[in-house]
Amino acid sequence: MEDDILILGGGAAGLMAAIAAKRAAPGARVTILEAGDRVGKKILSTGNGRCNLTNLRAQAGDYAPAPVGAVLGQFPPERVLAAFAQMGLCFREEEDGRVYPASDAASSVLDALRLTCAHLGVRERTGFLAVRARRGREGFTLEAEGGARAQGARLLLATGGKAGSRVSGYDVAGQLGHSVTRLLPGLAPLKTDGAGLKGLNGVRCRCAASLVQGGRTLLREEGEVLFKDYGLSGIAVFQLSRALARAAGPCEVALDLLPDKTPAQAGEWLRARAKLLAWREADAFLLGMMHKNLAANLLRACGIGAVRVEAIPQDALDRLAQRMKDWRHRVTGAQGFPNAQVTVGGVPLAETEALASKRCPGLYLAGEVLDVDGPCGGYNLQWAWASGACAGAAAARSLAGKGAGA
């Protein structure tokens, strides 16, 4: 066979898998097959170009839907950082456990990975868009668009998800006997019916956002919400999109613009503010606490017109308090994969054992091609590094047994 280990996909999981494989078996012939013109391109766009390497708070319970404790236990955030430190990368912790490279540039992370791969002797083949895969007695044969071929004793799928990936690792996994769950965009903006959003495109606010279905709150997040013509965006909304992907039936997003107050306290606070600012015109009542366009939208929705604050009726203040505490938006879906950060769905983790396929001996899977996803903030890169490292090392160790079935 030409190679000992073929790694299909040169993203975060694939690069880490290659490094782990070469360190576990220095003499192994390891080749990364990448569909694009260079490896690691998606890494450059993570964290708004800064690359949120990992999150020190990441735990197995943060991921859905499968238990990932065995993988994260082998390669927790601290070990990820130790691995990058060994590659010469400096980094720092910021708020909420997020870790970024000291350079504030994602290119530093990719440089560390590529230089380490080159030093260890990992080969790269770019422009390899795999369309067919088969397993024979001596290993795996991959055929690319255009007719190029690659052969290896072991195959590791690390193609990423549908969000930003050219090659479908799901198709390859299916050709090799695996099932694939329904694929949906995750960590994506949400589309709403548009009611009540007039004049708010581009307006931001910090609040609590809840995904509600039939009176039951599926998930609540606090953070920034960005209003768009099509609906809602921002980190808090991205988090809700993961729960939406797994929800059965229609949902609403409930915005709480005063998350530190109970409904009763919100009403009392507005009444006190009305007394304090009785001399103002009503259109200036909420100025100083939120964007003027958002203030105008709320006042208009509650029927508060061109009067002085002292003349605002009590029932209108009550409606305003209720709307600020529970502003509902009917969700019509998530924005598509081009706007998503991750894929919800994939190859079930239950079809692997220690990331080795139970259905196709010699096949290993890592990263987003598996049905595992986490929240914003470095969690999904943590999964990519951890699963890539564990799968790469396992594939290398298996070479001692020879043959694709070992």
User: What distance in Å separates the CA atoms of residue 115 and residue 314, rounded to the nearest whole number?
Assistant: 67
Last residue in a domain, options 289, 306, 334: 334
Q: Which pLDDT tens digit goes with each residue over 310-345?
A: 999 999 999 999 999 999 999 999 999 999 999 999
Do 220 and 364 have their domain in common? no
Do 193 and 178 have their domain in common? no
pLDDT of residue 100: 98
Q: Which pLDDT tens digit goes with each residue over 266-287?
A: 999 999 999 999 999 999 999 9
Residue 287 is assigned to a structural domain of this protein: yes
User: What distance in Å separates the CA atoms of residue 331 and residue 299, rounded to the nearest whole number?
Assistant: 23
Number of domain units in the chain: 3
Do 246 and 351 have their domain in common? no
Residue 232 is assigned to a structural domain of this protein: yes
Residue 43 is assigned to a structural domain of this protein: yes
Q: Which pLDDT tens digit goes with each residue over 194-230?
A: 888 999 999 999 999 999 999 999 999 999 999 999 9
H-helix or E-strand spanning residue 40: none
Question: Which residue, among 135, 113, 123, has the nearest Cα to 3 in the 3D structure?
Answer: 123
User: What distance in Å separates the CA atoms of residue 346 and residue 253, rounded to the nearest whole number?
Assistant: 26
Q: Which pLDDT tens digit goes with each residue over 120-163?
A: 999 999 999 999 999 999 899 999 999 999 999 999 999 999 87
Model confidence at 401: pLDDT above 70:
no
- The arithmetic mean of pLDDT across residues 3-10, rounded, is 97
Which of 73-80's residues contact partners 24+ apart within 8 Å by CB, and which partners?
A: 74/386, 74/389, 74/390, 75/385, 75/386, 75/387, 75/389, 75/390, 76/386, 77/382, 80/53, 80/54, 80/382, 80/385, 80/386
pLDDT of residue 164: 58
Do 386 and 362 have their domain in common? yes
Do 64 and 123 have their domain in common? yes
Tell whether pTM > 0.85.
Answer: yes
**For residue 9, what are the domain limits?**
3-184+337-401
Do 11 and 138 have their domain in common? yes
The answer to whether the CB of 371 falls within 8 A of the CB of 349 is yes
Domain of residue 233, CATH code: 2.40.30.10
Residue 12 is assigned to a structural domain of this protein: yes
Do 56 and 171 have their domain in common? yes
User: What distance in Å separates the CA atoms of residue 27 and residue 153, rounded to the nearest whole number?
Assistant: 14
Q: Which pLDDT tens digit goes with each residue over 100-130?
A: 999 999 999 999 999 999 999 999 999 999 9
Residue 270 is assigned to a structural domain of this protein: no
Do 234 and 153 have their domain in common? no
Do 52 and 153 have their domain in common? yes
Do 171 and 201 have their domain in common? no
